[in-house]
Copies of this chain bind each other. A is one copy, B any other.
Amino acid sequence: MRPRALDITLPDWLPPAVPWDRPHTTADDRMRLANHLADANVRHGTGGPFGAAVFDLTTHRPVAVGVNLVERAANAILHAEIVALIFAHATLGRYSLHAEDLPPHALTTSCEPCAMCLGALLWSGVRVLECGASREDAIRLGFDEGPVFPASYAYLEARGIRIVHGILRADAAAVLEAYRQRGGVIYNG
């Protein structure tokens, strides 16, 4: 018989590193948190240089956060955005964050999402995507981003998702560069 249950556990340092009650009113505020998580993930040696957070766009507070756990958890699925989204659904107890009785939510991520994460955010019901570093920044490091095309973004926008690129991009790119300098693992390159 195989395991019936599986745990996804955040690093010890992560939940206390998040100012859960602080409103993150601007896109820059929200991106500073995503970048801080990416940077802390590299400094703590707990994974790849990517951080993400889901925000309630009424209170502007973080609902859930994620960092890249691929190497730590030995699990290819656990990109920062997937972790943030899966915890956001668990926290709210809803499979869609797009509902009349819920505020709109943003996914703020330190790097443009790969194909998997772009698909995930479409299903999540998140209404705003905020990106820091670009796909090209990640590819320059040796990461693959998968089959993401201009038409992929257009597909999401046609479904009402607002997408903002390049927020504090230099800060996010600096985290990527710090990871490269530490000799961090480039999985699935």
Contacts and interface: CB of A to CB of B under 8 A. Distances in A.
A45 B77 CA distance: 26
A86 to B, nearest CB: 5
A124 to B, nearest CB: 5
Contacts of A64: 2
Nearest to A152: B147
Contact of A119 (B15, B70, B118, B125): B118
Task: Determine chain A's interface SS by DSSP, over half rule.
Answer: mixed
Interface string A1-23: 11111111110101110101000
Nearest to A158: B147
Interface string A75-95: 111010010011101110111
Interface of A: 1-10, 12, 14-16, 18, 20, 64, 70-71, 73-77, 79, 82, 85-87, 89-91, 93-96, 114-120, 122-125, 144, 146-147, 149, 151-152, 155-156, 187-188
